[in-house]
Amino acid sequence: MKVAAIQMVSSTRLADNLDRAGELIAEAARGGAELAVLPEYFCLLGQRDTDKLAIQEPFGCGPIQRFLSGMARDHGVWLVGGTLPLTVEGSEVPPQADRVFNSALVFAPDGRCVARYDKMHLFRFDNGAERYDEARVLQAGALPHLFELPSVDGHVWRVGLSVCYDLRFPELYRHYTAQGADLLLVPSAFTHGTGQAHWELLLRARAVENLACVAAAAQGGLHENGRRTWGHTMVVDPWGAILARREADGEGVVLADLDARQLARCRAQLPALEHRRL
């Protein structure tokens, strides 16, 4: 299966970001991608954290979700909408005007939304110069989520969803592997400093320890709000080898072929998943 991990440098303007995402999705489709993954916050990296609140949508309707549905349908691809802000609602979580979910939505080639994952782990970082605390405007998700993708290669890929900071919590990915996941997605907006130190290391570790493919679409460059993200969008195979990677800042599409037969060989040759004791 050919997968496209899309790198962006999202701006403070929703319409511009959707236009650019549409162009990159079209490029991915022309390249033969069956699955395209947008980065975290593909629709907006605002001047302030609270800018997310102004563009929030209830799950199931809204211009961002209509855009994603239309792109999946128009190009005949499975599309993972990086993340977008969804309104906190429902019986399990009380409505909060000052919080949104940071959600990854999956759309099938017919435009249906088939999966939703709300980011579970919320990033906080303070090195004296940079300070981030996602909990100020985000509501943490409660549950992992995976979906099935029947590929033209004949393999039904079981795909585990995660977002950015989740990458530091290996138990989430082990949960997915225990549920049969063989592809792990990590749309992200890693800071430049943490990305430089840990991005590749963590992605390859998650692939190796779970004997799974990993596709990580990233924000990558200097944004209008002054934030600099690490980029280096990449796809990793179950042996930890990098199949494709974007080395430079800036927008682009990273294409890679995932081989279900290689995945099966890796798991047969080194059956570490069968040897777990905990």
Q: Which of 27, 52, 119, 134 is catalytic?
A: 119
**CA 104 to CA 137: how far, in whole Å?**
17
Three-state SS for 18? helix
Q: Which of 2, 27, 34, 40 is catalytic?
A: 40
**Taking a C-beta distance cutoff of 8 angstroms, is the pair 90, 49 a contact?**
no
Q: Which residues of 179-215 are buried (b: 16+ CB within 10 A; e: fewer)?
A: eebbbbbbbbbbbbebbeeebbebbbbbbbebbbbbb
**Taking a C-beta distance cutoff of 8 angstroms, is the pair 79, 107 a contact?**
yes
* Residue 31: C-alpha distances to residues 3, 5, 144, 168, 247 (Å): 10, 12, 30, 31, 19
CA 119 to chain centre: 10
Three-state SS for 208? helix
**CA 113 to CA 260: how far, in whole Å?**
25
Give yes or no: 2 in active site.
no
Give yes or no: 40 in active site.
yes
Give yes or no: 89 in active site.
no
Q: Which residues are catalytic?
A: 40, 119, 164
